Amino acid sequence: MTDHPPDNTGAAEISRTLSVSDLVTTTAAICDGFLTQALAKIEKATPLIKEARQFRLALKSIPEIAGLLGCEEIYEDLLSAAGLSEKARSHLEKEELESVLGEVLRAIGKRSQRGWRDELVYRFLLTKGDALGGSMRNITGAFAGRRFSEAILHALDARGIKPAVRRSSNDREKIQEIEWKGRLLLFDKPPKFFGNNIDVILLGKLSRKTPTPDLLETQTAFVACGELKGGIDPAGADEHWKTARSALERIRASFPADRCPALFFCGAAIETAMAKEIVAQLKDGRLTRAANLTVPKQVGELADWLVAL
């Protein structure tokens, strides 16, 4: 592997031909994205609704709200109704959890003497709904990673290259690493010299024996880095871009000016204002490539460029 980043002049020229209108997400793509998210949310919410119905049925057998503290069979559901998420529970001892639950039940009992069952079910659903929102954000990020990694695999296949693919042990659909001759593509890894996760990192293999952790801390091995944003909601597009832009700026600042890897951005929700910023960065060289995640041709060209580096 060369000590210098590859010559990306040709790739940069191709990217500079992208216009603002090329990058802006279309209304049709936004509608398709919302539909995909809605269907995924329905699937995720179905078991939660079933749990709520079972919780409501169990509450009917309890004559007074004061009797709930001894109900071990619905204890976890009661904690949810008290507004305690699973993450919050991990920070509290059982005695502390029971104290919080007791206070909440007493407060609800005073305010809703007859409707306490309904209020507990509604509060249960609020807590579960909040958890579902967090889960959906993870799903959105995973969707972006899958679409991007599929494009990489397709680009490699088009060249007759059979890569080694390493997947998450917890989620077989999530690809963590793709390796081919002289190259290693990593997803969501935090180099120690950077401190935070980088969505996509392309490394040049120094040798087949170099461990990935060592390679990840070798700045001369970095060929390209990129940020992926899969959220489709236009209302959050600007925040997604600000987050990605800050991350890319930190990456740029972490390398000597003559050794900075090629940088790219790929997002699903791209509004006109951010498209203008992206095009400006492509023109002045701060970004080497960019693509709209909802446009297969752009994602394919981005993947083809990465594979060719």
CATH number at residue 76: 1.10.238.90
95 and 220 part of one domain = no
**Which of 80, 109, 135 is the last residue in one of the domains?**
135
Instruction: Answer yes or no: is 4 within a domain.
Output: no
pLDDT tens digits for range 286-306: 999 999 999 999 999 999 999
112 and 194 part of one domain = no
124 and 206 part of one domain = no
CA distance 196 to 30: 30
Q: Are 157 and 307 spatial neighbours (Cβ–Cβ below 8 Å)? A: no
Q: Are 277 and 220 spatial neighbours (Cβ–Cβ below 8 Å)? A: no
Side-chain-side CA neighbours of 51 within 13 Å: the count stands at: 21
Residue 148 sits in a domain whose CATH number is 3.40.91.10
149 and 20 part of one domain = yes
161 and 279 part of one domain = yes
Total of domains in the chain: 2
pLDDT tens digits for range 68-126: 988 889 999 999 999 998 888 989 998 999 999 999 999 998 888 788 999 999 999 99
Q: Are strands 262-267 and 289-292 parallel, antiparallel or unpaired?
A: parallel
- What percent of the chain shows pLDDT beyond 90? 68
Domain around 103: 44-135
Bridge partners of 165, per DSSP, are: 178
**Which of 111, 135, 159 is the last residue in one of the domains?**
135
CA distance 83 to 130: 10
pTM: 0.79
Q: What SS3 state is found at 42?
A: helix
**Which of 135, 160, 189 is the last residue in one of the domains?**
135
Dihedral sign for Cα 237, 243, 247, 252, please: positive
Q: In what order do the strands lie in the sheet with 175-180?
A: 164-167, 175-180, 183-189, 198-204, 222-229, 262-267, 289-292
170 and 240 part of one domain = yes
Instruction: Answer yes or no: is 1 within a domain.
Output: no
Q: Are 232 and 25 spatial neighbours (Cβ–Cβ below 8 Å)? A: yes
27 and 130 part of one domain = no
Q: Are 289 and 11 spatial neighbours (Cβ–Cβ below 8 Å)? A: yes
